[in-house]
Amino acid sequence: MRDLNVQDLENLEVGAGILGTGGGGDPYIGKLLAREQLLRGKKITLVDPKEVDSESEILPVAMMGAPVIMIEKVPGGKEVVKSLEYFEKNLKESIDFITPIEIGGVNSTVPLAVAGMTGKPVVDGDGEGRAFPELQMVTFHLGDIQASPVAMFDERGNNNIVMATDNVWAERIARSVTVRFGGSAYVALYHMKGIDYKKWAVLNTITKCIDIGDAIMDAKRSGRNVFDALLDETGGVMIFSGKIIEVKREVERGFARGSTVIEGSGEFRNKHMRIDFQNENLMASIDGEIITSVPDLITILDSETSVAITTEHLKYGFRVNVMVMKCDERWRTAKGLETVGPRYFGYDIEYRPMEELI
C-alpha cells in the first residue's frame, strides 16, 4: 500500500496513453482531475491485490462514451461518486476498494480522482490490461462476473440502474443511455468480491503504467533513445515508421470508427501501413497483408517524443512509430477471442499472436 504523488500521476498519464492503443480517451483530463485532489491535500492510496481480502467489496468505476465527445465535454468527477453511493445504499455496506475497469486512456485516472474525493483506496489492476470500446470487453466477463447492476449518472442529475440479462445487453442498454445523455456517462459496474478480482483482473497494471512513464522520463533525462527504452520496458516490437498520409473517420452508434494510412520511411520506405480503429487501434496491415490485430496492443507514437497518439488526434503529416505489445494471455483463450478477437470487430481473419507474426 502506498500513496501516489503528482509525479506518479504524470508517469501514469504517459503509460496509460501507450496502453490505451489509441483509445480510451485522453488520460490528460483524468490526470488533471486526480492531481486537483492531491493539490487539495487529499490522499490517493494504491493497494496491491495481495493486500486485498477475499471478502472485500470491490467496485470498478469509469467513464463511458466516445472519446471525441469527452475531449469537448470535460467531466466534473462528482457524478462517479454518486454511483458509488448508490451501490453502498443498495448493498447496505460500504465499498472497500475502487479500481479501474481499463488501464488505457482516461479510465486509468478517473478512479484515482474518485479515490481522492472519497478516500477509498484503489486496487492496483484493471479488467483489460489495455483499452477496449465496449463494456463486456473485460477479463471479468471471461470469468462470468456480471456487469449488472450498472449505475449510470450524467452531469444533469439523471441516473439509471441497468439490470441486464448478460453483459452484452448491459453494454447495449448503457450505450443507448450514454448516447441519450449526450455522448458520455459515468458508470460503476462489475461489483465483485476480492477473491474474484484476484482471480480475473489483470493485476498491477497501474504500477506497470507508472513504470512505463518513468522509463520514458528516465530515458529523456539521461539522453537515451526514448523509443528503445519504451520497447525494453514493455517487451513491445516496432512494426512500422513513417508519415501519416490519410485519416478517415466517422462516428457510428456512439463509436469513432475509421482508418489511417502511414507512408513508410527508413527501412519501411515504399511500404504503406493501414491501421483500422474503432475508438482503439484494431488491426495493422502493410500493403494489404495483415501484420497484427486485436487483442494484441497496437500503439501509434510520435516519433520524436514517443508520446502515444490517440485516434481522435491522428492528423495528416504526423511522423510516427508503430509498436505492438502482447496482450494478457486470457484474451487469447476461445472466449477471450470471441469477445475481443478480430471477428468480433467485423474482420474475417484468424487471430495470430504477435510473437508468431513478427
Partner 1 sequence: MTWRLRHEDIDILTLGSSLLGSGGGGNPYIGGLLLKKSMEKLGIDGIEVIAPDSINDDATIIASAGMGSPTIGSEKLPNGEEYARSLSRLEKDMEIEFEYVTPSEIGGANSVVPFIAALFRGLPVLDGDGEGRAFPELQMTTFNLYGISSTPMCLADERGNELIINSVDNLWAESIARSVTARFGGRGYVANYPMSGKDYKKSAVKNSVSRARDLGELLSRGMRNNSVEDVLTKEAGASELFDGKLTDLVRENNGGFSIGYAIFRSTEGEKTSRIRFQNEYLFFDEKIEGDMIEIVTTPEIICILDRETYMPITTDRLRYGQRCKVFSLPVGEKWNHPLADDLVGRRVFSVLKHFQ
> Smaller CB distance to partner 1: residue 169 or 345?
169
CA distance 324 to 304: 18
Describe the crossing of helices 27-39 and 6-19 by its angle, rounded to 10 degrees: 170
> Smaller CB distance to partner 1: residue 10 or 166?
166
CA distance 32 to 10: 10
Strands 122-123 and 45-47: parallel
Q: How far is the CB of 73 from partner 1 (least distance, A)?
A: 17
> Smaller CB distance to partner 1: residue 6 or 91?
91
> Smaller CB distance to partner 1: residue 14 or 162?
162
CB neighbours of residue 346 within 10 Å: 10
Q: How far is the CB of 358 from partner 1 (least distance, A)?
A: 40
Q: How far is the CB of 88 from partner 1 (least distance, A)?
A: 15
Q: How far is the CB of 151 from partner 1 (least distance, A)?
A: 9
Strands 289-293 and 280-286: antiparallel
Q: How far is the CB of 192 from partner 1 (least distance, A)?
A: 20
CA distance 347 to 80: 35
Q: How far is the CB of 193 from partner 1 (least distance, A)?
A: 22
Q: How far is the CB of 76 from partner 1 (least distance, A)?
A: 15
Q: How far is the CB of 43 from partner 1 (least distance, A)?
A: 31
Q: Which residues of 318-335 are buried (b: 16+ CB within 10 A; e: fewer)?
A: bebbbbbbbbbebbbeee
Binding residues for partner 1, rule: CB under 8 A, are 90, 156-165, 169, 172-173, 175-177, 179-181
With the C-alpha atoms ordered 69, 294, 236, 16, is the resulting torsion angle positive or negative? positive
* 3-state helix/strand/coil string of 330-355: HHHCHHHHHHHCCCCCCCCCCCCCHH
> Smaller CB distance to partner 1: residue 12 or 84?
84
> Smaller CB distance to partner 1: residue 181 or 268?
181
> Smaller CB distance to partner 1: residue 106 or 188?
188
> Smaller CB distance to partner 1: residue 165 or 222?
165
Please give the grid coordinates belonging to residue 91. Answer: 448493498
Q: Are 167 and 86 in contact (CB under 8 A)?
A: no
Strands (E), 197-313: 202-203, 237-252, 255-264, 272-278, 280-286, 289-293, 297-302
